[in-house]
Homo-oligomer: A and B are copies of this chain.
Amino acid sequence: MAKERSYSSLIARLKAGGLRPTRQRLALARLLFEGGDRHLTAEQLHSEAEESAVRVSVATVYNTLHQFTKVGLLREVVVEPGRSYFDTNVDDHHHFYFEATGDLQDIPSDRLRVRELPEPPEGTRIERVDVVVRVRNLET
């Protein structure tokens, strides 16, 4: 039901961002957006594409992820050195990060608030506030 709408609106959203709805971009978009909230690395998305018999190069996966991020379809999350996650949830929210598995889980913004946010330094404006709650497995 929402699938159809979301699929056809994707084309519109790509166009709105100045991105042509190519075979690759649409295929990646489906993988990304047809499964609820997800947190994927470029590697992971590329593997999923291969498994779904979608031919895309690694370069295109990276290009696409960055372009989607630029037009607001994705949000980049940095929690671990040397690996970027892309989050299909672009609403205001935060994350649990499971150090053991490398997984991320959303924390809706009404479950965690930052208060007394300090003034940004002279000549700058706040772009975003990222909160990462790092969790570890309870002791063995």
Within 8 A of B (CB), among A91-136: 96, 98-99, 105, 107, 111-118, 120-121, 123-136
**CB–CB A120/B96 < 8 A:** yes
Report whether over half of chain A's contact residues are helix, strand or loop; otherwise say mixed.
strand
Task: List residues of A whose CB falls within 8 A of some B CB.
Answer: 76, 78-84, 96, 98-99, 105, 107, 111-118, 120-121, 123-138
Of the listed residues A98, A105, A118, A138, the one surrounded by the most CB atoms of chain B closer than 10 A to its CB is A118
Closest to A139 in B: B125
Cβ-defined contact, B134 with A130, below 8 A: yes
A117 with B112, Cβ < 8 A, contacts A78-B79, A83-B81 known: yes
